[in-house]
Amino acid sequence: MQLKTSLLGYPRIGEKREWKKALEAHWTGNLSSEDLHAEMKHIRLNHLKKQQDAGIEIIPVGDFTYYDHILDATAMFGLVPERFEYDGGSVSLETYFSMARGNKDVPASEMTKWYNTNYHYIVPEIGNKAPALSENYLLAAYKEAKEELGIEGKPVIIGPYSFLKLAKHYKNDAFPELLSQLTDVYVQLFQELADEGVQWVQVDEPSLVTTIPEEDLPLILKTYETLQNEVPQLNVLLQTYFEAVSHYEKVIELPVAGIGLDFVHDQGKNLHALQTHGFPKDKVLGAGVIDGRNIWKAKLKDKLVLVKEIQKYVGDDKVWLQPSASLLHTPVTVENEPTLDETLKQALSFADEKMEELRTLQQLGIGESEANDKQLEDNEEIFAALKTKGWRKEEPDPTTSTDVGRSLSYEERRKKQLEKWPLPKLPTTTIGSFPQTRDVRRLRARLKKGELTHSEYQSAIQSHIKTWIDHQEEIGLDVLVHGEFERNDMVEYFGERLEGFAFTKNAWVQSYGSRGVKPPIIYGDVRFKEPMTVEETVYAQSLTDKPVKGMLTGPVTILNWSFERDDLPKQQVAFQIAEAIKEEVSALENAGIEMIQIDEPALREGLPLKREDWSSYLEWAVQAFRLSSSYVENTTQIHTHMCYSEFQDIIDAISALDADVISIETSRSQGDILETFEDNVYDKGIGLGVYDIHSPRVPSEEEMLHIIRRALSVLPADLFWVNPDCGLKTRNEEETVAALKKMVNAAQQARAEVTS
């Protein structure tokens, strides 16, 4: 049979978030380890059965995880940091979760963004450890799928080159030796798979789409030569995604049985390379033709043309039709969205629907379907219907190129702001949100069900705001926040109040660990309707003499954390959102709120994966932020926040935002960001997150004071702020108050040191 279907990975979170619920029940002590394993097996097999029933012929195994697939590889290679007191062998569940979440004694491993997505992975820490195979998780996953469901699975693992590129805590000159050591572990792992009869293994090398140093190419070649020479009976599919592969000619000649390429997010470069340089006749091409990251239905006529073009250069029996990436980045199924507008719903495709699209495309491609023309016509009618709804202008607005900025320089503004805000040195604040308790979530649910009037709901929200204003006063924070109790999600909340956004009931996507998000769907032109945050912020300010920050989400983050339109350039959608946020900033300022935080935690994750493409993205991303933030009085202080990013790469762009104060994460990275400021001068207000809010652990004052002291060794005390590394909505009240008290005490001690 020509044209096979294959997946790269399937969502873990579960159709009804079963995976999340099982994990959190275990963490709270309500589900034993034995019962957790049993529930996870049930979920895992259910996911495999869905792929089998959908007619997917090459099904991935080993993509399922208890937290994160990179953490799985780290544990499998025995690379457990010394602070977790691991003494070899299989990594226990307790140690595994401690690496991900920390425990009462030691902090978690660092967490950061997975390439240019909103998924977070746990960063491997190499240290002085040599990798060794602790347990072959892939072999267990393969055997389970075969024994339980008769599936001849395709084990999936991160490739050795990408694994080391994602890792930290080793010297650059050690990379070749570490890669060699790691390759030996892969040889052992692959040999065990081959001995069991595994036919194909998918080795993900997404780092091959980034800007690869020339000196790395011989190392990559040697790695795959070793794997081929040592385990020749195992077929390796070297899988890339998210962009066009770099060094196409060299990559396709690597000694592997197949190459996976992204033909959706490659900007046409992979197809051009295929047309220009051809493809080896003896290799399989994993053709990523269905979008694995966005949720719009494929235009089948266009996809069929693409497949036919690919077939000109690759034998029919050598093409696997695939999504462009793992379906980890999409919700599970559109079927669970009964309230969506029917025209919009028909145009959407989540993970389960994408499997159907692959099967349909396969049938069209091999002429198996008896209703080819009807399928194509029905598909075209879906997109024609979108045009009749009036959601999108016939002629989109031209992309603006006019730069905007504050009327005074930062130095001049700062003088005015110091007069207006007589804050102490090292002022303390938080990032915005406070614990979203069950009671708070229940309030929103009751409002939606009509069990509460809007007035009753607002009264209850105000009660929570007052409680936390009182807490902040008692703790001794210098700049307060209202706590965001009325908000479900930092993007969804704003999207619900702007034109052009649609929202789902159950379209959850994993962000990190058990945390899921429901990205809004930008389906039409974005427009401001009415003030969105003024009422709650003004109420909070009425309760205190200390400044209360207005809290907004920035245009680039709203764009990057949404499923965006695929009919407009991203920057044009960003400018539409920026214009709307500008209106909200003006509404806050007019209401007397003159400290306003516009968060952009996703600014860096939108960076193209090749450095040569960075400048154009950063230009419009910075421009969008300035468009939203620059039309204010010079005494109005603009804050922003970013988290879990490699800031050293974009320090100039961060400065170009021209925010008066930026807060950034540094706790999980153990102060690595400080090296950036040793080499670069940053001349605006800056707050480094001094403790990790994603871990339930409450750090000591000494730990936080250590980070503050390190920061003050490279940053001027006059510009330094002290804050947690992110919002506190996922923590409980007791640990939040305890941690903030210690943070304030640490700041006061540091304040005394710098003023003595």
Helix, strand, or coil here: 526? strand
Q: 580: part of which helix (H) or strand (E)?
A: helix 570-590
Taking the C-alpha atoms of residue 735 and residue 692, their distance in angstroms, rounded to an integer, is 12
Asked whether residue 643 is marked as a ligand-binding residue, the answer is yes
E strand map for 346-394: none
| Tokens linked to 458 | 């607002």
Asked whether residue 432 is marked as a ligand-binding residue, the answer is yes
| Tokens linked to 613 | 């493409």
521-528 and 498-502 as β-strands: parallel, antiparallel, unpaired? antiparallel
Asked whether residue 599 is marked as a ligand-binding residue, the answer is yes
E strand map for 491-558: 498-502, 509-512, 515-517, 521-528, 550-553
Helix, strand, or coil here: 189? helix
Asked whether residue 378 is marked as a ligand-binding residue, the answer is no
CB 322 within 8 A of CB 284: no
Asked whether residue 561 is marked as a ligand-binding residue, the answer is yes
CB 314 within 8 A of CB 285: yes
Give the CA-trace dihedral at 580, 586, 592, 598, to 10 degrees.
50
Asked whether residue 554 is marked as a ligand-binding residue, the answer is no
| Tokens linked to 388 | 């009749």
Three-point CA angle 66, 161, 189, nearest 5°: 60
Residue with tokens 């239905």: 297
Taking the C-alpha atoms of residue 104 and residue 282, their distance in angstroms, rounded to an integer, is 54
E strand map for 454-520: 498-502, 509-512, 515-517
Name the residue type at position 522: I
| Tokens linked to 188 | 């052992």
For the chain, how long is the longest CA-to-CA vector?
Answer: 84
| Residue 225: half-sphere exposure toward Cβ, Cα within 13 Å | 8
Asked whether residue 641 is marked as a ligand-binding residue, the answer is yes
Q: Kindly list the distances between the CA atom of residue 23 and the CA atoms of 38, 63, 72, 356, in Å, as whole numbers in the listed order.
A: 12, 17, 15, 30
Q: 261: part of which helix (H) or strand (E)?
A: strand 258-262
Q: What are phi and psi of 279, to 5 degrees?
A: -150, 140
Asked whether residue 326 is marked as a ligand-binding residue, the answer is no
Asked whether residue 118 is marked as a ligand-binding residue, the answer is yes
Percentages helix, strand, coil for the chain (3-state, rounded to 5) are 45, 15, 40
509-512 and 515-517 as β-strands: parallel, antiparallel, unpaired? antiparallel
The burial class, CB within 10 Å (0-12 / 13-18 / 19+), for 342 is: exposed
Asked whether residue 205 is marked as a ligand-binding residue, the answer is no
Taking the C-alpha atoms of residue 194 and residue 139, their distance in angstroms, rounded to an integer, is 10
Asked whether residue 394 is marked as a ligand-binding residue, the answer is no
CB 621 within 8 A of CB 614: no
CB 396 within 8 A of CB 615: no
Three-point CA angle 300, 305, 310, nearest 5°: 120
Asked whether residue 113 is marked as a ligand-binding residue, the answer is yes
Taking the C-alpha atoms of residue 521 and residue 559, their distance in angstroms, rounded to an integer, is 10
Taking the C-alpha atoms of residue 659 and residue 622, their distance in angstroms, rounded to an integer, is 11
CB 212 within 8 A of CB 204: no
Asked whether residue 19 is marked as a ligand-binding residue, the answer is yes
Q: Kindly list the distances between the CA atom of residue 147 and the CA atoms of 109, 136, 141, in Å, as whole numbers in the listed order.
A: 35, 17, 10
319-323 and 284-290 as β-strands: parallel, antiparallel, unpaired? parallel
CB 209 within 8 A of CB 273: no
Asked whether residue 168 is marked as a ligand-binding residue, the answer is no
Asked whether residue 301 is marked as a ligand-binding residue, the answer is no
Which member of 69, 120, 639, 694 is catalytic?
694
Asked whether residue 44 is marked as a ligand-binding residue, the answer is no
CB 323 within 8 A of CB 265: no
Helix, strand, or coil here: 509? strand
CB 540 within 8 A of CB 548: yes
Concerning whether 694 is annotated as a catalytic residue, the answer is yes
Residues 6+ apart with CB under 8 A from 747: 426, 428, 708, 722
Asked whether residue 665 is marked as a ligand-binding residue, the answer is yes
Binding site listing for L-homocysteine: 431-433, 484, 599
Catalytic residues: 694
Binding site listing for 5-methyltetrahydropteroyltri-L-glutamate: 17-20, 113, 118, 561, 605
Binding site listing: 17-20, 113, 118, 431-433, 484, 561, 599, 605, 641, 643, 665, 726
Binding site listing for Zn(2+): 641, 643, 665, 726
Binding site listing for L-methionine: 431-433, 484, 599
